[in-house]
Amino acid sequence: MTGLAGLDWIAVDWGTTRLRVWAMDRAGQVLAQAASDRGIAALDGAGHEAALLALIGGWLPDPALVQGRLPVLACGMVGSRQGWIEAPYRAVPCLPLAAVGLVAAPVADPRLAVWLVPGLMQAQAADVMRGEEVQIAGFLAAAPDFDGVLCLPGTHAKWARISAGEVVSFQTFMTGELFALLSERSVLRHGMAGEGWDEAAFDAGVEVALARPERLAARLFSIRAEGLLQGLTPGAARARLSGLLIGAELAGAKPYWLGQDVALVGAEALTALYGRALAQMGMQVRQCDGGTAVLAGLTAARAILREKER
């Protein structure tokens, strides 16, 4: 068993619910990839090495044939207090990645050297990110002169001011988690069973939330009331909820995007929604795939590690 030919290092995106791995060659090309649902929450603080080997074991050479350890670069909640080992936050303003922050995780397998990328923190106003700093680094690898604001939609959406390659400041909005809780676990779930998406309802939700963001908790219940009294369809209900929450986020994040060069980084369906909402404000923003950004960011981390080890 000589393992996967040309394997130079392994990229790992290890979040709360998912573990994704890529086998990379020296030129930064993907040789193979795999994923599992063994996220940090499922592991409960133990078994990280086994969960990783379950995905990458087949790529590795026989232990008897090994010369040196293969670098594994991992980002996300794997570096949190509840993860493999804590990679302490670095404080902004700072570069999204730095050799000094990489933390070696304890491994028993002699073939691996696992490095965790630390998240970023901000003291005032208190805020944290883990994983998004790698996407930011990946975006900047392709656009090193970018000076503006990055929005990374998701469970905990981030808005980050970028200047001279550094993350100057950032702010987190719980928009994605609120959408999941309200659409799946609140009284609103009754009106959201079924498929469909009503773009006009999304646009109206954005508009009303931007105009009167303080009414959010009342507008949310109106989705239920209109379902009962006026037959609001599930597709309109879900789109309205999304529009209300994204509109409220845009209202709160206005100091970030107003008059700025803004780029969206994330899953395509989600960045498209944010792009549509920002277009209502007259903003034209570029959209970048989050998966591509993660891989580009981990590749940048690999280059930094190579410098460090030189």
Please give the residue ranges that form the binding site for a copy of itself (CB under 8 A). 81, 89, 121-123, 125-128, 156, 171-175, 177-178, 181-182, 185-187, 212-218, 220-222, 224-226, 228-230, 245, 248-249, 251-254
CA nearest 81: which of 118, 122, 38? 118
CB of 284 to a copy of itself, least distance (A): 23
CB 133 within 8 A of CB 244: no
CB of 210 to a copy of itself, least distance (A): 9
Token reading at 237: 């209900």
Edge-to-edge order in the sheet of strand 120-122: 90-91, 120-122, 127-129
* E strand intervals along 94-209: 103-104, 112-116, 120-122, 127-129, 148-152, 157-163, 166-173
Q: How far is the CB of 84 from a copy of itself (least distance, A)?
A: 17
Contact yes or no for 121/127 (Cβ under 8 A): yes
In the complex with a copy of itself, which residue's Cβ is closer, 245 or 294?
A: 245
CB of 127 to a copy of itself, least distance (A): 5
E strands, 138-266, are 148-152, 157-163, 166-173, 262-266
Of 134 and 248, the one with the shorter C-beta distance to a copy of itself is 248
The residue among 38 and 224 lying less far from a copy of itself, judged by its C-beta, is 224
Q: Based on CB atoms, which residue is closest to a copy of itself, 71 or 243?
A: 243
Nearer to a copy of itself, 171 or 287 (CB): 171
Shortest separation between residue 15's beta carbon and a copy of itself, angstroms: 12
Least distance from a copy of itself to the Cβ atom of residue 252, Å: 4
Q: Which is nearer to a copy of itself, 81 or 308 (CB)?
A: 81
Contact 19, 35 (CB under 8 A): yes
Residue 43: name the closest of 77, 3, 73 by CA.
77
